[in-house]
Structure 1
């Protein structure tokens, strides 16, 4: 049965090609089948004003991954969420469960990874203040991190069709092309999973090369949803 308290906000985060879209969609459908009122979000929204700027950044219009300082590179991602903040707040006030494929966590991990190790935690705190305190974007109640090693994720990414913002440019945006960068991003996701109480890590690998079955990962997410009292 759905939880009758005020709504809940669940985010599915993950390293590249970890199955975020698949798992967030499975969760959405599973909760609807249980009678929950569920809303679905997917960021970045490349067909909106700030989301289109994200696409331009990712395809390299403003430089390569380490060329643009994260304090600037993070802003289009944040402002894309800012445009949805009132809608998110209304849904939560109505008691809905929101499922989002990526949210602030992706920004925290990807942008802090650009910096020297001794500057990353401070930047994470700055970006959290920007999004939640200055821009007023609601906080998630639960962030599930799907962990796939960077080298595995990069290989899977290059096997997919090119992204909508990369049409005609081939596979691999400025984030996806650098294995060094992707490994730093995974480190930052793991740091968030360890240091933020609303975060939970799910290991998506059976061994060094093989992914766990999609349904097994979904069962883990549903278990966590119940443990966190998102549903009862």
Structure 2
């Protein structure tokens, strides 16, 4: 990455530097912690006041078409400005870091746990963030047995070797996680799962894959 072409604000530059660590062969996750500003929290809250959960998907470059899709499909477009700005910033950053001309972007308002089992994504790398609700959980390498991954069966060992070592992203944190398709010196990708949701709780999250 050429940081001179990265986003101009100090916060975005710091995020770019933190996420660039995913290229370290010894790491399967790079995290940029952050506290969401009040305007973004309010924008997110407005999109979560729907009768049911919802999802939004887009494939393409992080430009005008993505912005138009967000304005046309988010449930509270009059209050969506701060959320749209955040999606656009993260999408542009993902495209820059991965030298990707096209992205697959999914926003979801979840009312139940999406992927409760520990697993590894069948992608090269994925950006994830949760604006509302808990963030993804993952296992460091010393706390897992990869032979337990995949469909459960009686002859497989437990994936979790040390439950006390489970780590979790905070609300608002942005992470790049390696998948099983990562090329290079990776160990097979990050083993992670969706967090459990309390009754009545909701989670607004986004994933971005390079295409």
- TM category (shorter chain) comes to under 0.3
As a proportion of its length, which structure holds more strand? Answer: 2
As a proportion of its length, which structure holds more helix? Answer: 1
Q: TM-score, normalised by structure 1?
A: 0.24
Q: TM-score, normalised by structure 2?
A: 0.26
